[in-house]
Chain A
Amino acid sequence: MSTTKPLKTLGEDVWRSKMEKVSGELFVLTYGSIVTQLVRDFNQDYAKVNEHLEKMGYNIGTRLIEEFLAKSQMGRCRDFRETGEAIAKVGFKMFLNLVPTVANLSADGRSFSLVFDENPLAEFVELPDDAKRPAGTVVVAPSSSSATGGAAATAGGSAGAAATPLWFSNVLCGVVRGCLEMMQLQVEAYWVSDVLHGDDINEMRVTLIKVLEDEVPAGED
């Protein structure tokens, strides 16, 4: 069932012919109002908002993968790099009409970055100063940051350092994590840079933690 078409063509074909379209502005404004409501509900605790967005994305991802597989008819990828290409060229193209580039593949092939030139979710958005990441800080993976509050490590802290910046499109990280977990790959996905914080590009880092085993029926193991 694996297709011999190149991924880019496959992505475009599926997006054009098999996907229902909705108004982009409606979608983006709805998402913006969700984030605003979450910020209000959590009283400006951006760490919790980020976490909640990621969880929402995870739930979306676990279901989205079924539609992705059904419409694109893709089989399993041979290695993690191919997984990244499939997510970028087919997955994101199908659902958001975006094609990020896969970059910064790590030496052991267990980690890659998705670089988005534009982020439609953030089209009408401007973040307040306390939600932005201070310039010059370096982002570390959430799992390796300290357990107390998960503050991003600062390389020379600046005066207005936020406790945690708000990653506006964090739902996309959750979607990637949810989809890959249903494909037996446990990954970690987090934003490294965001145009809303003043960086040039939006970059999401995806790292493979481990490959999960299939379940065996009771009495077999």
Chain B
Amino acid sequence: MIYSLHIFDRHCDCIYHGDYAQATAVAGALDASEQNKLVYGVIYSARNLVNKLRREPASDAPFLAFSTSHYKLHYYETPTSLKLVMITGTGVDTQAVRDVLRAIYRDIYVEHVAKNPLAATTPGPSLVRTKKKPVDNSVPPHALITNVAFRSALDQLVAGLMAGSD
């Protein structure tokens, strides 16, 4: 049971958000940009927490997943600071989902976004530290993935996974 997938870039912007299983409408449900910000806040804090509490020196990205009574959130970060977050039902094996996220990165993101000369990619890290401007919610992030091939390949992959697990 896969609920949703978020992809965040190195500038903390949500460049892709896909909802899959139809969740029943919860009272006080958030709109998409609020939800994206919340998810990012959670993984950012969790990642920092795990890094600080770690006893041995780095392997990369020790934060893997967290689970609650209703869902489980799985996290995969590439060394280029691209973050993939998948929220699934409880009881799903994290290693399998991390393999899925890795496959999404390798076969779908790299093929359709990184290799696409016309796709707007996030500009590099800023070499000068500037104060971040307040987020303007009405303006979509510069690197928002609008590629139809990306979306359909992803939808196919998720549909295949959901069909296989039921």
Interface residues of A (CB under 8 A from B): 1-2, 62-63, 65-67, 69-71, 73-76, 178, 181-184, 186, 212-221
A66 touches B110 (CB 8 A): yes
| A214 to B82 Cα, complex, angstroms | 11
| A2 & B81 in contact (Cβ 8 Å cutoff) | no
Distance, CA A214 to CA B77, complexed state (A) = 13
Please measure, in the bound complex, the distance between the C-alpha atom of A182 and the C-alpha atom of B10, giving whole angstroms.
9
Interface flag for B154 (CB, 8 Å): no
**Complex CA–CA separation, A18 to B124 (angstroms):** 27
Asked if A182 and B124 sit within 8 Å, CB to CB, the answer is yes
Asked whether, in the complex, the Cβ of A216 is within 8 Å of the Cβ of B125, the reply is no
**In the complex, what's the smallest C-beta–C-beta distance from B92 to chain A, in angstroms?**
19
Query: For B135, what are the chain A residues with a Cβ–Cβ distance below 8 Å?
Result: 218
B121 touches A63 (CB 8 A): yes
Interface residues on B, range: 20 to 34
Chain A contacts for B78, CB-based, 8 A: 66, 69-70
Contacts of A65 in B (CB 8 A): 80
* Cβ–Cβ contact A218 & B79, under 8 A: no
- The contact sample of 9 A-B pairs, CB cut-off 8 A, is A66-B110, A74-B79, A181-B124, A183-B79, A215-B81, A217-B12, A217-B37, A219-B134, A221-B131
Indicate if the CB atoms of B58 and A183 lie closer than 8 Å.
Answer: no
Chain B residues contacting A74 (CB-CB under 8 Å) are 79
Specify the chain B residue showing the minimal Cβ separation from A61.
B124
Whether the pair B132, A181 counts as a contact (CB closer than 8 A) is: no
| Interchain CB contact under 8 A, B129 and A62 | no
Least CB distance from B126 to A in Å reads 8
Of the candidates A186, A215, A216, the one having the most CB atoms from chain B within 10 angstroms of its own CB is: A215
Contact A183 B80 (CB under 8 A): yes
In the complex, B114 has a CB within 8 A of chain A:
yes
Residues of B near A76 (CB, < 8 A) are 58, 60, 79
Evaluate contact between A70 and B79: CB separation under 8 angstroms: no
Q: Is the CB of B60 within 8 A of A75?
A: yes
Contact flags B57-82 to A (C-beta < 8 A → 1, else 0): 01110000000000000000011111
**C-alpha spacing A178/B133, complex, angstroms:** 25
Complex: chain A residue closest to B129, CB-CB:
A213
Select from chain B the residue with minimum beta-carbon distance to A179: B80
Within 8 A of A (CB), among B108-160: 109-110, 114-115, 121, 124-127, 129, 131-135
Given A76-B58, A186-B127, CB of A214 within 8 Å of CB of B81? yes
B129 contacts A67, CB within 8 Å? Answer: no
Q: How far is the CB of A72 from chain B (nearest CB, A)?
A: 10
Q: How far is the CA of A16 from the CA of B143 in the complex (A)?
A: 33
Q: Smallest CB-CB separation from A18: which chain B residue?
A: B106
CB contact under 8 A between A2 and B60, given known A67-B114, A216-B12, A217-B41: yes
- The interface centre, meaning the residue of A71, A178, A212 with most chain B CB atoms within 10 A of its CB, is A212
Complex: A216 Cα to B135 Cα, angstroms:
12
Q: Is the CB of B132 within 8 A of A221?
A: yes
A217 and B124 contacting across the interface, CB-CB below 8 Å: no
Q: Which of B37, B115, B127 is the one whose CB lies under 8 Å from A212?
A: B127
User: B40: nearest residue on chain A (CB-CB)?
Assistant: A217
- Which 9 pairs show the lowest CB-CB distances between chains A and B? A70-B106, A66-B114, A217-B12, A75-B60, A218-B132, A70-B110, A212-B125, A182-B80, A63-B114
